[in-house]
Amino acid sequence: MRAVTYSHFGPAGDVLSLDQIDQPNPARGEVLVRIAFSGVNPSDAKARAGSRPGVTRPDHPLIVPHSDGAGTIEAVGDGVDPARVGEEVWLWNGQWQRAHGTGADYIALPATQAVPLPQGTSLETGATLGIPGLTAAHGVFAGGDVAGETLLISGGAGSVGHNAVQLAKWGGAKVIATANAKAHDRVRAAGADHVFDYADPDLAAKILAATDGAGIDRAVEVEFGQNAALLGEVTRPNGTICAYGSGGDMTPTLPFGPYLFKALTLDIALVYILPETQRKNAIARLHAALTEGALSPAIDRILPPEQAAQAHDAVMTPGRAGAVLLDLR
């Protein structure tokens, strides 16, 4: 079968290649999925580049990258209902702590990681539901229903943030988002009630004004280190900050005083290791929003597997408007 592979870290154009490797067979409890679309995420590109602290070489001799994807179950292992053959599914954690991810014609993985697509949801959309979809759903709903609350979504034009804006609005929240000035119209179209430039020196004052001084109930935060002080200022007492990223500052200084005297909750989210109950809740929210037509994950571009290196570079380029997929049909 065709597979995008790499065996050592480096720039995408230097280390990624499209090769022929053996097709996997589903073990007990697994399903074999024929991949239609493979989702490329920044975490995939960072792993391939070797940018994780203390990691000097890949965990396996040959890596097939990518955690997200969608396709059709073609075979099942022992212990899996044969009726699942032919089912269209979306995948999560395809390459998490495994050698072979979704960047290939086929993947064999535990049956629970192949989720039936909601009726009417395309395979393209399915390939965006893993990291961007689950992170957004968990970020918005991990504390329960948000109807009547005010949520701050940072990076509202990004793949996670754009989904989170839509989900929060669907959930009945008032939505404040930050984004680059060029993306404000797009974020408003996703449902944000207020959109502010994340670089505005008066950002805190504008957020507080938009809440009539009360502050936000919950933040879904992509750059915690850079925004820690801001969040301490604009979050109401007993509010929650769900931080899923801090790429700009991985060793932030926490303004403990404002956090302490507001009794703020800091919820650090890593979608790969969500407990089962939280993952099921996030999946249920995603499926409900999709079924009701309230969520439309944005796709920036779809490329052939021969252009996997371009896909990796694209997903790390600021300003893209949605997910990047490989078309393996």
Q: Reply yes or no on whether the pLDDT at 261 is more than 80.
A: yes
Instruction: Tell me what pLDDT residue 51 has.
Output: 84
Q: Decide if pLDDT at 148 tops 80.
A: yes
- Shared domain check, 142 and 117: no
Do both 78 and 107 map to the same domain?
Answer: yes
Note whether 43 and 37 are within 8 A (CB).
Answer: no
Residues 102 and 225 in one domain: no
Structural domain includes residue 123? yes
Query: For the chain, what is the domain count?
Result: 2
216 lies in the same domain as 262: yes
Domain assignment present for 178: yes
pLDDT tier at 78, thresholds 50, 70, 90: very high
Q: Does residue 287 lie in a domain region?
A: no
| Residue 222: alpha-carbon gap to chain centroid | 11
Do residues 102 and 212 both lie within one domain? no
Q: Specify the CATH number for the domain of residue 121.
A: 3.90.180.10
Q: Are residues 168 and 85 in the same domain?
A: no
| 278, part of any domain | no
Mean pLDDT of all residues in 226-233? 98
Q: 33 with 69, same domain?
A: yes
What is the span of the domain harbouring residue 205? 132-272
DSSP string, 146-208: -TT-EEEESSTTSHHHHHHHHHHHHTT-EEEEEE-GGGHHHHHHTT-SEEEETT-TTHHHHHH
**Distance (Å, whole) CA 30 – CA 142:** 28
Q: Looking at residues 299-315, what average pLDDT do you find?
A: 98
Helix (H, G, I), strand (E, B) or coil at 135: helix
